[in-house]
C-alpha cells in the first residue's frame, strides 16, 4: 500500500530540533530567572515598576542564555 500524499516518513529536521531545544531552554530559563530574579529583587528592596523591570531583564537574559546552550546541545546531538 503506497504512503498517502504529504506523509512525512522521517522525524523532525536538525533545524527543527535546534529550534525546539532553544524554545525549551528559553522557557526553563525564563522560569528560573523569574524565581531567582524575583527573590533577588525583593531582597534588594525593589517594589512596583522597578521590581517588574528588574525581573523582566533577569528573565530575558537567563532565558536567552539557557536557550542558547540548549540549542547548541541539540545541534551537537543532530
Among 36, 33, 35, which residue's Cα sits nearest to residue 67?
33
| Pair 50, 63: CB distance under 8 Å | no
The answer to whether the predicted template modeling score (pTM) of the entire model surpasses 0.75 is yes
Q: Any idea which residue has 546541545 for its cell?
A: 73
Q: How would you write the pLDDT of the chain (78 residues) with one tens digit per residue? A: 566 666 666 888 999 999 999 999 999 999 999 999 999 999 999 999 999 999 999 999 999 999 999 999 999 998
Among 45, 29, 68, which residue's Cα sits nearest to residue 54?
45
Residues belonging to the chain: 78
- CB-count burial class (<10 Å; 0-12, 13-18, 19+) for 47: exposed
Amino acid at each position: 500500500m503506497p504512503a498517502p500524499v504529504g506523509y512525512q516518513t522521517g522525524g523532525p529536521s536538525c533545524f527543527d530540533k535546534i529550534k525546539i531545544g532553544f524554545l525549551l531552554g528559553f522557557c526553563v530559563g525564563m522560569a528560573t530567572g523569574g524565581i531567582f530574579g524575583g527573590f533577588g529583587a525583593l531582597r534588594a528592596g525593589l517594589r512596583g515598576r522597578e521590581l517588574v523591570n528588574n525581573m523582566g531583564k533577569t528573565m530575558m537574559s537567563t532565558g536567552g542564555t539557557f536557550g542558547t546552550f540548549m540549542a547548541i546541545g541539540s545541534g551537537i546531538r543532530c
